[in-house]
Amino acid sequence: MRDYPLLRMNIYQPRILRFDSIASTNLEAVKRAVEGASEGLCIVASEQTAGRGRLQRQWISPKGAGLYFSILLRPRIDQSAWPLITLMASLAVHDALLEACSLRTDIKWPNDILANNRKLCGILAETTETAATGEKSDIPKRAVILGIGINLTSAALLPDLLDSATSVESATGKEPDLEVVLQALIRALERHYMTLQSSRGLEEIIRAWSERSSYAQGKRISVSNGDVILEGTTRGLESDGALRLETATGEIRLVRAGDVTAVRASSV
């Protein structure tokens, strides 16, 4: 078996750097990746003052209200398969919340975690490279930083997001223990990352994602990407993680980016 440093990480002594307050755990992990940190490094903060979301949005991160977590990975899979890394991360969050909080969530393509159709967790993947040192090494220079923000308590929710966002506390009626969620998350990430990098790992991640997401098949959705809005019914994932969408004319379009919204069937 190939050597995976992430898997050598002892879960009871994980390489976790903790911050009371930080601008963004992703920014810190990017900085450390550029300096050459090895994969498996985790950054956790109680609060972020400049949390980053997808599409240049902010991720509001009040103290103690959420899990603000980033992990550094140096994947050995072909770069064409890198979109599957965020699908893998969404599987890990799904499984961690089930294990740690008995909460069964849904996954909205590509990687938003929902409870009661409201967003509970967002995932932001950023890529970087170790700065050149001139030294030869077979450790990949390219790195992916997976940033995961889970709303643990209702204090994480801005009043104007109450219709579209939720927290573990609101969904379960119980305030979760951050450490229990964190440890379950790291274990689940290790498991699914090992699968992703195994032979037939890509198919396995697609299969596991499709099993856990109501968005995989037969869901009426609209996808907005800049000025373009596409509507249709989902028809599974391509091998690179793209979402197959059947439009009203029966044409299959492949969606690789954009904001997905479920469309309610109109009552007649």
Binding residues vs ligand BTN (CB under 6 A)? 24-26, 48, 51-54, 57, 59, 68-70, 122-124, 147-149
Distance (Å) of CA 118 to CA 43, 82, 108, 161, 224: 26, 27, 10, 10, 18
Which is closer to ligand BTN, CB of 59 or CB of 193?
Answer: 59
Q: C-beta of 129: minimal distance to ligand BTN in Å? A: 19
Which is closer to ligand BTN, CB of 93 or CB of 205?
Answer: 93
Which is closer to ligand BTN, CB of 59 or CB of 215?
Answer: 59
Q: C-beta of 215: minimal distance to ligand BTN in Å? A: 15
- Between CA 267 and CA 223, with CA 228 as vertex, the angle to 5 degrees is 50
Which amino acid does the sequence have at 73? L
Which is closer to ligand BTN, CB of 144 or CB of 202?
Answer: 144
Q: C-beta of 185: minimal distance to ligand BTN in Å? A: 12
> What is the enclosing helix (H) or strand (E) of 43?
strand 42-48
Contacts 24+ apart (CB under 8 A), 169-176: 170/115, 171/103, 171/115, 171/116, 171/120, 172/101, 172/102, 172/103, 174/101, 176/100, 176/101, 176/152
Distance of CA 157 to the CA centre of its chain: 19
Q: C-beta of 138: minimal distance to ligand BTN in Å? A: 29
Which is closer to ligand BTN, CB of 44 or CB of 84?
Answer: 44
Which is closer to ligand BTN, CB of 42 or CB of 202?
Answer: 42
- Between CA 15 and CA 12, with CA 206 as vertex, the angle to 5 degrees is 20
Nearest-CB residue to ligand BTN?
122
Which amino acid does the sequence have at 41? L
Conformational region of residue 157, where left means phi above 0, alpha means psi within -120 to 50, and beta covers everything else: beta
Q: C-beta of 65: minimal distance to ligand BTN in Å? A: 11
Q: Are 111 and 186 in contact (CB under 8 A)?
A: no
In a 13 Å sphere around the CA of 178, the CA atoms on its Cβ side amount to 17
Q: C-beta of 228: minimal distance to ligand BTN in Å? A: 20
CA distance 99 to 239: 28
Residue for token pair 């959420």: 66
Q: C-beta of 108: minimal distance to ligand BTN in Å? A: 10
Which is closer to ligand BTN, CB of 25 or CB of 130?
Answer: 25
